[in-house]
Every structure is written in structure tokens, then in C-alpha cells.
Amino acid sequence: MTGRTNAVPDSGQDRPRLTDAPGLTSDLARRYEGGAGMMAGASGTGRGGGAAGRVPVLMSDPRVCAVPVRDVGEPLIGLDESFGPSRARVRVSVARQLVRAREQLPQGLRLQVVEGYRTAAAQRAIIESYTAQLRAACPGVSPADLDHLTSRFVAPLAVAPHVAGAAVDVTLVDSTGCELDLGTPVDATPEQSYGACFFDAPQVTGQARTHRELLARVLGGAGLVNYPTEWWHWSYGDRYWALMTGAPAALYGPVAAGRILA
């Protein structure tokens, strides 16, 4: 990719723009794309704009895989309990950015990280399970379209931010640890949520919309980028982050087996 548009400003006010990503080849797959018949990005209400029929840049986009990786060699570190009971593991700089983001939240609110680093085996299992669901719901779908649809919810193994220790699934909680309303549960599929898992889903309004915007403001302000089909997924240093910010290379590739944790 030559001109890396879709940069995320330092202010964190915007997320990756909707763009003319590679399209689906079958009418059935197109109807299915946004979850239960809702076309992804069809509302055009996202901050990045976008006309009906334009879709977010997905992890399956070849431009993501084309980003070079220059792994800086940071170890994984376990987040402490202030980020929730999962004690998720992430790269050291990702942990620092999360601390920066948390400091910008209003008093009484916290970030709760549901998941961070994920093994390649775990990633592969999620891909296989979700792919099987899509095949059953969309019989006759082409392999290319199946990869496209799958990547709305789970990244291909080669570029998966979780496998690089670069991504977190994160939500907001109050001082008692109760989750705030962000429109859907974390990890709701496009089908389960009727497309409401997309960050800019037009049916998400009121407090849920306000909470999503707050999440975007603090995490974007700390340098993380959102995967626009999952409001909860934010990453730093991976190939998708590099593509969206215009960085010359990713900082992290898949975590090598046996890497020592800090």
C-alpha cells in the first residue's frame, strides 16, 4: 500500500476510516456481511464517513498482511488486578498505553481487560469454530468470501493481534466492577448482535453510544486503534495498527514460543 490513509490522529478523536476494501463476490455473502442481513457500514454514520456499501478494512485485507514486521522483542507482562480478574498478558508497551488510557477516565470508571495475548492454537480453534458456523449459515460460500466474513470476528492467524500480544478485548466498569452498557456483550458475533458489535452501528444509541465514544477517546488518545467490527477490540504495535496509523512496520509479530514473561 502506498498512501496509508485512515491514519488515527493523536487526539484519538477518529478511528480507522471506512474505505473501499476488497468486496465480496456473491450476493448471498454480501447480504450476510453485516450480520443478519445488515450491510457493514451501510449507514454511513461512522466518524470516518463512508457511503452505503463501503466496508471497514478487515484483517483479511491483503494490505494488512503486506505490512512488514520489525519485532522490537518486548516480552509479555501480566496486567495487575486493577485491569480486572483475567490478569491478561500483553506486550510491555501495550500495558503502558493502557495505563495512560485509564488515567484519562472520569473518576469512578475503570478499564476491564477481558483478554490479551492468545496462543496460536487458541486463535486457530476460534477460526475453525466460527468458520463452521458461517458455512452452515451461508452454504456454497466461496473460500475467499468465507475468509472475508470470518475476519469480521476473528483475525487470520498470520496477522492476529492477540497472537502478537498486541491486542486487548476491553470494556468499561464502574467502581464496584459492574460493566457499563456498551450495546452488546464483549465477543458478540455480528449474527448474534444483528451488527450491533460494529463500533459505529447506528442502532447503538444513548448511554451505550456515549460509553463507546468514551472508550474510543481514552484508548485512541493513548495510541491504540479499534477494529471497527468489534467495539471492544483495541491494539497497539501490530500490523493492523501499523496500516491504520501509517507506521512503516509493525512493532510486534507472533509471540515466539518460550518468550520469557516480564
| Residue 255 belongs to a domain | no
Q: Count of domains in the chain?
A: 1
Which pLDDT belongs to residue 2? Answer: 33
- pLDDT bin (cut points 50, 70, 90) of residue 30 is low
- pLDDT bin (cut points 50, 70, 90) of residue 138 is confident
| Residue 208 belongs to a domain | yes
Which pLDDT belongs to residue 67? Answer: 98
Mean of pLDDT values over 110-124: 97
| Residue 258 belongs to a domain | no
pTM: 0.83
| Residue 203 belongs to a domain | yes
Residue with cell 487458541: 122
Angle between helix 206-221 and 92-103 (nearest 10): 130
The 3-state secondary structure of 164-202 reads CCCEEEEEEEECCCCECCCCCCCCCCHHHHCCCCCCCCC
Angle between helix 143-150 and 120-137 (nearest 10): 120
Phi-psi region of 195 (alpha: psi -120 to 50; beta: other; left: phi over 0): left
The 3-state secondary structure of 79-134 reads CCHHHCCCCCEEEHHHHHHHHHHHHCCCCCEEEEEEECCCCHHHHHHHHHHHHHHH
Which pLDDT belongs to residue 56? Answer: 81
| Residue 4 belongs to a domain | no
What pLDDT digit, counting tens, does each position of 203-248 carry? Answer: 999 999 999 999 999 999 999 999 999 999 999 999 999 999 999 9
What pLDDT digit, counting tens, does each position of 148-164 carry? Answer: 999 999 999 999 999 99
Mean of pLDDT values over 142-153: 93
| Residue 154 belongs to a domain | yes
| Residue 86 belongs to a domain | yes
| Residue 102 belongs to a domain | yes
CATH of the domain at 169: 3.30.1380.10
Q: In which domain, by residue range, is 104 found?
A: 27-245
